[in-house]
Structure 1
Amino acid sequence: MNPRDLLLGSFAAALAAADPLQIVPRHLPSPPKGRTVVVGAGKAAGAMALAVETAWPADRPLEGVVITRYGHGLPTQRIRVVEAGHPVPDESGERAAHEILALAKSLGEDDLLLVLVSGGGSALLSAPVPAVSMADLKAVTRQLLACGAPIQDMNTVRKHLSTIQGGRLAVASRAQVVALVISDVTGDDPTHIASGPCAPDPTTFADAQEVLRLHGVEPPASIAAHLARGAKGEEPETPKPDDQIFTRVENVVIATAHQSLMTASAFVQARGITPMVLGDSVTGESREVAKVYAALARQIHQHSHPLKRPVALISGGETTVTIRGNGRGGRCTEFLLSLAVDLAGLDHVHALAADTDGIDGSESNAGAILLPDSIARAAALGHSAKAMLADNDGYSFFAALNDLVITGPTRTNVNDFRIILVQ
């Protein structure tokens, strides 16, 4: 198998391990005495809803609404799929979130609220508190995205501006609550996935204020005032881990980055490549993480240590990009471009980095492939890898080489996938 096919095959294996159509049916609860209402949000919501419909007994009641990103919907019969804005929330998501809250409140003790949670739900499931407008929520979201704040920090703020996140969806209902969760965050803690609509929230209003201060974000006046009131105890806090409400709530993580990485590891091992899984919780600036990985790749290439070639370095997690330039791209192409600069055309080293949701940043690609001659081919076209990295222009670099990885919506999301093949 040639290097390009091996890289793409490993990514396909990782995606298959997180396919909602295969995973969700295995974790469905038994139908209750009363109604079953399905709600949820995330990039996998459409596929998860379809999986529920396919596996649910035809003679048992089923209804609901889920929210997914534009272009990620699927045709369903009993669960309505609404498309909305991501990564910046919009009014479509807001309307659907209020509908979800109303459904949750309509349920009784003999009913089941089945919640389908996946990455992207933090932006999609947006029902801001009355004091905060959607315009102001959009404004603070854009600032947090631009400054490279980790997703956990972003969600700390979002939970304290929401009527539905941070465990509040579970609080709204008297029904038994089961949340099936596809994790896109390091650590796989449900409180951080889609801002934990059914999970207890250990953070506070004061924590949200500190996040904004730490990242130099100047929020709209309505948000600053709401957080200040909350920090003084004048607004209700999110439900905490010791809240009795969670005795009737179950959060079940059904797919993780670790599962996908191990599947990819088995894929390359079956093809005579020694896998080295570097972890599913890699964070930090994309370009800085790439430098560390480049050093390890050189060590293996030059000294056959700590493993003899051929080796596949496999990792997941969620790196960040602090926007300094005016280019196009996301954290995966940024990682690869930095890796290219640091490796400087080292022979027999190939790499792929892609987001498992099929979208790297705000572009149409999942990621890209780096080859030993990528920098030389780009230079022949008049492109400087260093200059384009400085401009955060990884997308344009790999687009010029026809080395983008384009999958379209995968309708799942277990964070980034990276593999470096050292032959």
Structure 2
Amino acid sequence: MPAIADPRAFLEGLFDAAVAAADPDRMLERCLPETPKGRTVVIGAGKGAAQMARAFEKLWDGPLSGVVVTRYGFAVPCDRIEVLEAAHPVPDEGGLAASARLMSTVRGLTEDDLVVALICGGGSSLLPAPGGDLTLSDEVAVNKALLASGAPIGAMNAIRKQISRIKGGRLAALAYPARVVSLVVSDIPGDNLALVASGPTIADTTSRLDALSLIDQYRLDLPEAVLRHIRNGKDDAPLPNDPRYARNDTRLVASAATSLEAAAEAARRSGVEAVILSDAIEGEASVVGAVHAAIAAEVARRNRPFRKPIVILSGGETTVSIRGNGKGGRNSEFLLSLARRIDGLETISALAADTDGIDGSEDNAGAFADGTTVRRLLEKQRDPAQLLANNDSWSAFHALGDLFLPGPTGTNVNDFRAILVQ
């Protein structure tokens, strides 16, 4: 086949296909619950919650009301569902107010009423609701410690739910005796839906003892008040067999698996074979980048384990243990690590990006890298190794003009990685 003349456009097209496969306008209809005898109340949280709410309004045949919360700048207009905004990834007062609104919205319902929960990634930070005597400052401290720890998202959310009045199925318990149907866009490797947004409407079996073990494992420096709250055992999260959940239902709207399959099919339509390594890859972003680079380099040099031309796809959620004071997110850190190990292999091009459109704290979803990235950085007197050591991958790709900036996508199935070897 002829070479891909514009590798970046090709890779961006695969990203677009992956995002389209998780678009709530396309995916939500097959998950709709039955119309109830009583009221339909919509609640939701996450970086794609507003888009899910808008799609649900279009599809629902009957009256409804409700409120959802999304990240600042991610709101879209809805007619019947109120959209609130709050901070992500570190909670703020806006999130505190949003949590209170969601909890008050589901109180006082009857068994004839239906609560539809629209849940997607990002909801953990958007729904602060400190339990017991804890404060917002305590929850902020926990979030900051978790973000810097390198802990996987499952571990983070197992801890978060133990200090909350809304997470870990507690919001669904407040809605009892109404039936709760949770429609979930999963950003969790392995698609344990109780961990998405720390499961405000879905209970799981992790306990406070599990949380304490994880705190020790990742050596988290948490406020003493937080540790005391978890240890005292007075506010354990409900378990899935709690009778208040007997009539509830959970439905998967979209996930990394479906998005990667859509990207693979888009590649094949362009004449390039595709292979999906996994939709559930976790670990340090820089280490995962090095492993992906080794696979791509082996293909480029020796045509194994896959024959070129090929695009290598993967998903999941890597982590970054913060050591420096630079800018960047896990996808750009992955790419900078990869770039150092494919230096000079100019047949390799890569895109790594978060499917919600934001990687870390800046406005990029990720970046592009190829076999010339390191050389071009050195030409600008930028040391790739030092940039990586300082967690400053954003600055590296910004200097090259290689940031990927699609803007908010309205969905979130976590990391998307595509490596083209021609």
Q: Same fold (TM over 0.5)?
A: yes
Q: Would you say 1:39 and 2:43 are equivalent positions? A: yes
After superposition, residues 46-195 of structure 1 pair within 5 angstroms as 46-57=50-61, 60-173=62-175, 174-195=177-198
AA aligned to 2:115 is L
Corresponding residue number in structure 1 for 2:219: 216
Q: Distance in 2 between matches of 1:251 and 1:91?
A: 29
Aligned to 1:346: 345
Aligned runs of 1:273-422 on 2, under 5 Å?
273-422=272-421
The one-letter amino acid paired with 2:372 is D
Taking the aligned partners of 1:90 and 1:342, their CA distance within structure 2 comes to: 39
Q: Which runs of 5+ in 2 are unaligned?
A: none
Give the letter aligned to residue 366 of structure 1.
A
Give the paired residue count: 417
DSSP 3-state at the match of 1:353: strand
Measure, in 1, the Cα distance between the counterparts of 2:68 and 2:132: 22
Residue 263 in structure 1 maps to residue 262 in structure 2:
yes
| Counterpart residue number, 2:31 | 27
Amino acid at match of 1:254: V
How far did residue 219 of structure 1 move? 1.5
**1:4 corresponds to 2:8:** yes
Query: Is contact 1:351-1:418 (8 Å) kept?
Result: yes
Cα deviation, residue 149, structure 1: 1.5
Give the Cα separation in 2 of the matches to 1:5 and 1:311.
16
Contact 2:41 2:64 in 1 (8 A): yes
Deviation at 1:14, TM superposition (A): 0.5
- Structure 1 stretch 366-375 or stretch 19-28: which is displaced more? 19-28
Superposition deviation, residue 308 in structure 1: 1.5
How much has 1:347 moved relative to structure 2?
2.1
Task: Tell me how far 1:397 sits from its aligned partner.
Answer: 0.6
TM-score of the superposed pair, with normalisation by structure 2: 0.97
Q: Deviations over 1:272-317 (max 9, x none)?
A: 1110110100000011111111111121111111222101100000
What amino acid does structure 1 have at the position aligned with 2:222? P
Moved over 2 A (4+): 241-246
Q: Which amino acid aligns with 2:41?
A: V
Give % identity. 47
Partner of 1:196: 199
Deviation of 1:53 (Å): 1.1
TM norm structure 1: 0.97
2:209 paired residue number: 206
Instruction: Output the CA distance in 1 between the equivalents of 2:407 and 2:9.
Output: 18
Query: Does the Cα contact within 8 Å between 1:204 and 1:237 map onto a contact in 2?
Result: yes
SS at match of 1:129: coil
Please list every run of 5 or more consecutive structure 1 residues that lacks an aligned counterpart in the other structure: none
Contact 1:355 1:416 in 2 (8 A): yes
Contact preservation (8 Å) 2:132, 2:229: no
1:162-196 deviations in Å (ceiling 9; x for gaps): 11110111111211110000000101111110111
Q: Indicate conservation of the 8 Å contact 1:166/1:239, yes or no.
A: yes
What is the one-letter code of the residue matched to 2:16?
A
Q: Quick check: 1:198–1:249 contact (8 Å CA) kept in 2? A: no
Tell me how far apart the structure 2 counterparts of residues 368 and 253 of structure 1 sit (CA, whole Å): 29
Contact persistence 1:313–1:420 (CA under 8 A): yes
Q: How far apart, in 1, do the equivalents of 2:378 and 2:298 lie? A: 26
- C-alpha distance in 1, partners of 2:375/2:297? 19
Say if 1:366 and 1:405, in contact at 8 Å, map to a contact too.
yes
CA-based RMSD of the aligned residues comes to: 1.1
The CA deviation at 1:36 is 0.6
Q: Contact between 2:343 and 2:372, CA under 8 Å: does it hold in 1? A: no
